[in-house]
Amino acid sequence: MAPAVDTLTEDHAAVYDRQLRVWGVEVQRRLMEAKVLVLGLGGLAAEVSKNLVLAGVGRVGLRDDTPAAAAAPGNFLVDPSAAAEGLTVAEACARTLQAMNPLMAVAVEPGPPHAAALLPAQHPHHTRHGHSHPGESEAEALRALLSRYDLVVAVGGGAAGGGLALEQVAALDGAARALGVGVFAGAARGPSSWVFVDLGGECEQGFGYTPKGETEQRWLRYASFRSALTGGLGGVHRRTHPLYLVLRACWQFEEEHGRPPAGAADAPAVRAAFDRLTAATPAAPPLPADLLEAFVIDGAAPSAAAAAGADVAAASAAAAGLEQDAAAAAAAAGSEQEEPQGELAPVCAVVGGVVANNVLRALSAANPPLRNFFFYSYLVRDGLGLEECFM
């Protein structure tokens, strides 16, 4: 066994050897001191969590009190036995992740896989998981939880995976921003995935980092989610990833309807919002067929039939493994084209790797992380993974 590398123990040096050769001792040391909260544990979040734990992030907190029996089908961290033991998704994932890397700490943070507590009390809808509106104390508890971490990752959780309502992303981002906590938010929906990154204030200098091999610190400014989705459209051009405008159209839908789009029936309204946006944009990117519709449908909650039997279907899915049996069971309720696909595993793997890699950059402040969106879709330019910046 190799001798200790600086402050790293022999165990660290042995296990982390190959990545130390990629990013060096100093970055590893910073990662070991960092704390990341994962809010919601769907398939994409499972990928991100696995990657962060393997890298040796000091503390990874998991918050998702969904019963393990109702875990998102793509969450490979939930062992089939967890459902029978009555564990939550966070508990089941924590067990797997802690075994994956005993050199760091995995913590279960009690609470739901969303940030509805941060929404204004009078708001007409809360979450699509059907929780009643929490009191101010719950909001304070979530803020207190955030304040104990350096960065929060919210990329989908619960049974569907498909991501927080955009309004919740904005609320989470607002709270995290006020606390100086970094935010990675997003979702994988069928063939498409989006990621938003906010690492720091508009008034302050923003996110500081020191590129490898340099001594001078550099700064990156990030925008809030709200301003990134409501700012001027001047930056949009023909090569902009069309998912950015789809996301804005969904945001407008939420503002108008007080809820996220909930399936194929809402697609025309989102489409109308999209058309209004492109009309206001001198050079909007072309919209590939099905991109918007698939994004709306695949992000929706499982259909009524599936929802009614969610526990049963998911339990059997969990018992049988990870597959899309739950979705398949639900498919009986509607046409194939209108049934949510949920998260696709290969998309989660690609985007989960990209997200984790950039979370590690944000934590180690050695290289510039993505600023401030990442989009990936099978439907856009053959699966081009694109960084976009909208402030």
Partner 1 sequence: MEAPKAPAEPSWPGVLRTKEFKEKIKSAKVLCVGAGGIGCELLKTLVCTGFRNIEVIDLDTIETSNLNRQFLFRKHHVGQSKANTAAAVVQGFCPGASITPYHANVKEGRFDVDFFRRFDLVLNGLDNLEARRHVNRLCLAAERPLVESGTAGYLGQVTVHIKGRTECFECSAKPAPKTYPICTLRNTPDKPIHTIVWAKDLLFNRLFGAPDAVSDLDDQAAREGGQPGKQEEGDKEGGEGKEGAAEAGEQSEEARAAAASAAAAAAQAEDPSFFLRRDGEPALEYAARVFGRVYTTDIQRLAEVKELWEKRPPPRALHLDQLLPPAERAALQAALDKAAEAGAGAGASACKLLGLSNASQKWTPGQNAAVLLLATALYHTVRPSEVGSAAFDKDDLLAVEFVTAASNLRSSCYGIPEQSLFDAKGMAGNIIHAIATTNAVVSGLIVTEALKILAGCLGSLRNTFLYEVPVDRRLVVPATAWEPRPSCMVCGKTQLTLRINTKTTPLSGLVGAVIKKRLAVNSPNLMCGGFLYEEGEGLEEDEEAAYAALLPRPLRDLPGGGLGHGAILTVQDQSQHWGVDVIIAHTEDLSPDDAPEGFILEGALPTASAPAPPEQDGGKQQQQEAPSAAAKRKAAAAVAEDAAGVLHITDSDDDDDEQEGKEEEGQQQQQQQQQGAGTSVAAGAAAATANDSRKRPLDEDGDGDGAAAGGGGGGGGGEERGAKRAKAETAPAPAEDKDGCIVIDDDEDD
Provide, rounded to whole angstroms, the least separation between the CB of residue 43 and partner 1: 7
Considering the complex, state which of residue 230 and residue 367 has its C-beta at the smaller distance from partner 1.
367
Each as own residue / partner, the long-range contacts of residues 94-99 (CB below 8 Å, 24 or more positions apart, any chain) are 94/62, 97/49, 97/50, 97/53, 97/60, 97/62
Q: Helix (H, G, I), strand (E, B), or coil: what is residue 162?
A: coil
Q: From the list 159, 301, 348, 366, which residue makes contact with partner 1 (rule: CB under 8 A)?
A: 348
Q: Which stretch binds partner 1 (CB under 8 A): 83-91, 106-114, 174-182, 318-326?
A: 318-326
Measured on CA atoms in the order 232, 219, 349, 61, is the torsion positive or negative? negative
Give DSSP secondary structure letters for 210-240: --TT--S-EEE----HHHHHHS-STT--TTS
Considering the complex, state which of residue 254 and residue 388 has its C-beta at the smaller distance from partner 1.
388
Check whether the bond before 372 is cis (ω within 30° of 0): yes
Considering the complex, state which of residue 148 and residue 271 has its C-beta at the smaller distance from partner 1.
271
Distances (CA, A) of 26 to 55, 199, 365: 13, 21, 10
Interaction of residue 284 with partner 1, rule CB under 8 A: no
Residue type, 229: L
Taking CB under 8 A as the criterion, which residues in 38-77 touch partner 1? 43, 47, 50-51, 54-56, 73-74, 76
Provide, rounded to whole angstroms, the least separation between the CB of residue 381 and partner 1: 7
In this structure, what token pair is assigned to residue 81? Answer: 């036995």
Q: Strands 59-63 and 105-108: what pairing?
A: parallel
Integer Cα distance of 197 and 200 in angstroms: 9
Interaction of residue 101 with partner 1, rule CB under 8 A: yes
Taking CB under 8 A as the criterion, which residues in 133-192 touch partner 1? 190-191
Taking CB under 8 A as the criterion, which residues in 211-270 touch partner 1? none
Interaction of residue 2 with partner 1, rule CB under 8 A: yes
Q: Which stretch binds partner 1 (CB under 8 A): 121-129, 149-157, 170-178, 374-382?
A: 374-382
Considering the complex, state which of residue 73 and residue 260 has its C-beta at the smaller distance from partner 1.
73
Task: State the helix-helix crossing angle for 89-100 and 43-55, rounded to 10 degrees.
Answer: 30
Binding residues for partner 1, rule CB under 8 A, total 79
Interaction of residue 293 with partner 1, rule CB under 8 A: no
Q: Which stretch binds partner 1 (CB under 8 A): 201-209, 217-225, 273-281, 364-372?
A: 364-372
